[in-house]
């Protein structure tokens, strides 16, 4: 009975562990007995037997048989065993008994399906349906998951460290960086600078070409002081991937590799020079606006009316040029000049009067320091301002307004000799006093020059001071040279005044600016010591190259034309010697030269050639 009790106890345990699984048992009627036993447990195991017994056990004491009831009671599965018997027969559960002597006892009643096969089949089916989850299996999977995470993190960390070390040791610009579209990836700073500099030199010409219709001009890039800041661009390119912490740097390196960075190339130029150049170009356009203007001629103010035209839009054109430079689009490219139509400014007679009006200034001098302040003539309208405005109301292209000279009460010529204490030089020539007309011309010319003060740096012009030789000015007919012939001409003889002044200028060591010799060697000076003038074409000019003003004093009297130049001597003044000589002569021409020798303390400092001249022979 111990086997029976064990089986019943095991079934109860299975019923308690699997209370949610219930299998309805099928009642099987035993035809031969009223002992129908329905064992219905929560373990869903039904065992049908004959005569109120669950298992037939043939106790044979002598055989010591142990019944091993194969009930397919697997520890983890519920088993439902059904045994079917024919009508009127006992339904037995086939039991397998093995006695200690190895005897096997079989159930005498055959069944359609053996208990072993049915139990095995139902056990496999139940195993598929209710296989429970093992706690050990769950822990193993968690361990595998966290181990994988750790391995992955280690791999990422190793890759990060290696990537960081490589980048830290990289001394070149990182990959994916360009300057103005020029790839500088993996270049050193020096290589990148050289590459960009070469590009700039190749694409920035020496001149920026401009055009306006058929008019063409250019602007020198050197005059604009055009400079590209290549170093800053290279430094910025090099700093990419290096300016932050290691995480920011690595992120920037990776980002730049897949999304390249282009750095702009800045430049600078002289904006004032550019604007000035464009303004100058504006005045030279063929169809430029013509502004109203004025000039003074022979004590008359001439005003010309302006005309509409085109001018350079300096602001827009300057921006356009800078944009084209920044885009490297000026090589072999002629830029159109941006212009705009402009009307001339209206004539502002009040402004013109303010600009030309000048108060006369009296001459004066100071002793310590010694300075002469020359007189200056003034100028003003010869009509009232209202009368001038009325004249401009006429529709004309040109207007003329009369002017008047305002004279100072003390002229430079009136300053006493104390302002010009030292005689710097003098020179005289001789004339025939019996020739009255010629003598008159000499006196008129000399009187125009007498007392003239020439300030330091100022240039004296003979024709300007003496003026045109006209009958109205009192000049007479006297012998002159015309086309190699001696004929009477108005103002004849005044070249003797010019030649006398020329020699006085040489001895004062003043700078000769313009001088021409006669056609023939004159009678009053030697060859190469003369100076001729023709009003409107040939002039005699010299410059006061001294530090103080000079005064010219001259006279014509008793057959002598005399010039003296006064000023202030200094310790640096030289003794001057003038020499001339004839260097050649033939039937038609005479050739000569003149020299100036400078001495100081009796020693020759220099000897210079003044002129080489050719004269016709009489």
User: Residue holding tokens 């740096």?
Assistant: 457
Q: 87-101, 180-194, 388-402: which range is least confident on average?
A: 87-101
Note whether 215 and 312 are within 8 A (CB): no
* pLDDT value at 501 more than 60: yes
* pLDDT value at 104 more than 70: no
Nearest to 445 by CA among 429, 417, 464, 424: 464
* pLDDT value at 113 more than 50: no
Report the alpha-carbon distance of residue 427 to residue 578 in Å, rounded. Answer: 12
The pair phi, psi for residue 382, each rounded to 5°, is -85, -5
Note whether 330 and 324 are within 8 A (CB): yes
Strand 104-105 with 177-179, pairing: unpaired
439-472: pLDDT as tens digits: 999 999 999 999 898 989 999 999 999 998 888 8
Q: Which two tokens stand for residue 92?
A: 């037995």
Residue 538: C-alpha distances to residues 479, 505, 516, 544, 616 (Å)? 18, 18, 7, 20, 18
Report the alpha-carbon distance of residue 312 to residue 215 in Å, rounded. Answer: 13
CA dihedral 126, 128, 130, 132 (to 10 degrees): 130
* pLDDT value at 20 more than 80: no
* pLDDT range class, residue 571, cuts 50, 70, 90: confident
Note whether 271 and 325 are within 8 A (CB): no
Most confident listed range (95-109, 154-168, 174-188)? 174-188
Residue 603 β-bridge partners: 600
Most confident listed range (91-95, 235-239, 248-252, 579-583)? 579-583
Q: Which two tokens stand for residue 464?
A: 């300007």
User: For residue 412, what pLDDT is reported?
Assistant: 76
Note whether 444 and 583 are within 8 A (CB): no
What pTM was computed for the model? 0.44
* pLDDT value at 312 more than 90: yes
* pLDDT value at 592 more than 70: yes
In sequence order, which residues have a C-beta less than 8 Å from that of residue 167 and are 6 or more positions away?
Answer: 174, 241, 249, 250, 253
- Output 369 or 135, whichever has higher pLDDT: 369
Edge-to-edge order in the sheet of strand 207-212: 215-220, 207-212, 335-336
Note whether 72 and 41 are within 8 A (CB): no
Average pLDDT over residues 224-250: 86
Most confident listed range (49-58, 94-103, 360-369)? 360-369
According to DSSP, residue 367 is labeled E
Supply angle C-alpha 503, 508, 514, rounded to 5: 55
Residue 18: C-alpha distances to residues 4, 22, 24, 200 (Å)? 21, 8, 14, 90
407-448: pLDDT as tens digits: 999 887 787 777 888 999 999 999 999 999 999 999 999 999
* Domains of the chain, residue spans: 1-132, 349-406, 420-574
Report the alpha-carbon distance of residue 23 to residue 274 in Å, rounded. Answer: 105
522-531: pLDDT as tens digits: 999 999 999 9
The SS3 call for residue 85 is: coil
Report the alpha-carbon distance of residue 462 to residue 512 in Å, rounded. Answer: 12
Average pLDDT over residues 236-264: 82
Nearest to 95 by CA among 128, 55, 59: 55
Region for 451 from its dihedrals, namely left if φ exceeds 0, alpha if ψ lies in -120 to 50, beta otherwise: left
Q: 79-88, 560-569, 596-605: which range is least confident on average?
A: 79-88
Note whether 444 and 589 are within 8 A (CB): no
Average pLDDT over residues 226-231: 94
Report the alpha-carbon distance of residue 243 to residue 246 in Å, rounded. Answer: 9
Q: 140-144, 207-211, 452-456, 591-595: which range is least confident on average?
A: 140-144
């Amino acid at each position: 009975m111990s086997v029976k009790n064990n089986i019943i106890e095991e079934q109860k345990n299975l019923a308690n562990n699997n209370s949610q699984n219930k299998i309805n048992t099928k009642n099987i009627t035993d035809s031969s007995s009223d002992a129908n036993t329905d064992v219905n447990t929560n373990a869903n195991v039904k065992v049908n037997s004959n005569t109120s017994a669950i298992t037939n056990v043939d106790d044979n004491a002598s055989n010591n048989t142990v019944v091993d009831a194969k009930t397919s009671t697997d520890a983890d599965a519920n088993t439902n065993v059904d045994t079917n018997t024919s009508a009127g027969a006992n339904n037995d559960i086939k039991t397998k008994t093995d006695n200690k002597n190895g005897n096997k006892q079989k159930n005498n009643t055959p069944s359609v399906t053996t208990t072993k096969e049915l139990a095995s089949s139902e056990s496999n089916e139940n195993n598929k349906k209710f296989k429970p989850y093992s706690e050990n299996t769950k822990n193993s999977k968690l361990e595998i998951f966290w181990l994988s995470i750790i391995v992955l993190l280690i791999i990422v960390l190793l890759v990060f460290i290696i990537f960081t070390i490589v980048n830290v040791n990289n001394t070149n610009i990182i990959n994916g960086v360009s300057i103005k579209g020029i790839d500088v990836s993996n270049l050193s700073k020096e290589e990148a600078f050289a590459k960009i500099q070469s590009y700039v030199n190749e694409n920035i010409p020496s001149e920026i070409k401009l055009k306006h219709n058929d008019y063409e001009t250019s602007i020198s890039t050197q005059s604009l002081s055009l400079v590209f800041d290549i170093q800053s661009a290279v430094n910025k390119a090099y700093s990419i991937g290096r300016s932050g912490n290691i995480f920011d740097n690595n992120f920037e390196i990776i980002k730049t590799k897949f999304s390249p960075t282009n750095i702009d190339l800045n430049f600078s130029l002289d904006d004032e020079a550019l604007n000035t150049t464009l303004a100058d170009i504006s005045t030279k356009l063929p169809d430029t606006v013509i502004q109203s203007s004025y000039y003074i001629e022979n004590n008359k103010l001439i005003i010309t009316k302006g005309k509409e035209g085109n001018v350079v839009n300096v602001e827009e054109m300057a921006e356009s040029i800078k944009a084209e430079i920044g885009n490297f689009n000026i090589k072999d490219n002629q830029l159109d000049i941006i212009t705009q139509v402009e009307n001339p400014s209206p004539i502002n007679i009040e402004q013109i009067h303010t600009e030309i009006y000048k108060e006369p200034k009296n001459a004066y001098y100071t002793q310590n320091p010694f300075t002469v302040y020359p007189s200056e003539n003034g100028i003003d309208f010869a009509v009232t301002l209202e009368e001038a405005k009325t004249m401009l109301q006429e529709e004309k292209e040109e207007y003329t307004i009369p002017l008047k000279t305002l004279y100072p009460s003390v002229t430079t010529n009136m300053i006493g000799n104390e302002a010009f204490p030292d005689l710097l030089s003098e020179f005289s020539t001789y004339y025939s006093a019996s020739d009255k007309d010629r003598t008159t011309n000499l006196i008129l010319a000399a009187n125009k020059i007498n007392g003239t003060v020439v300030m330091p740096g100022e240039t004296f012009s003979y024709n300007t001071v003496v003026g045109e030789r006209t009958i109205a000015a009192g000049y007479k007919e006297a012998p002159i040279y015309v086309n190699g012939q001696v004929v009477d001409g108005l103002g004849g003889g005044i070249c003797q005044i010019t030649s006398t002044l020329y020699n006085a200028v040489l001895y004062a060591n003043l700078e000769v600016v313009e001088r021409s010799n006669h056609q023939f060697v004159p009678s009053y000076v030697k060859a190469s010591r003369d100076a001729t003038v023709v009003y409107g074409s040939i002039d005699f000019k010299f410059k006061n190259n001294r530090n103080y003003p000079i005064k010219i004093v001259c006279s014509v009297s008793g057959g002598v034309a005399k010039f003296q130049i006064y000023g202030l001597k200094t310790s640096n003044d030289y003794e001057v010697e003038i020499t001339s000589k004839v260097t050649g002569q033939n039937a038609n021409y005479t050739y000569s030269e003149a020299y100036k020798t400078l001495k100081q303390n009796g020693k020759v400092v220099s000897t210079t050639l003044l002129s080489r001249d050719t004269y016709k022979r009489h």
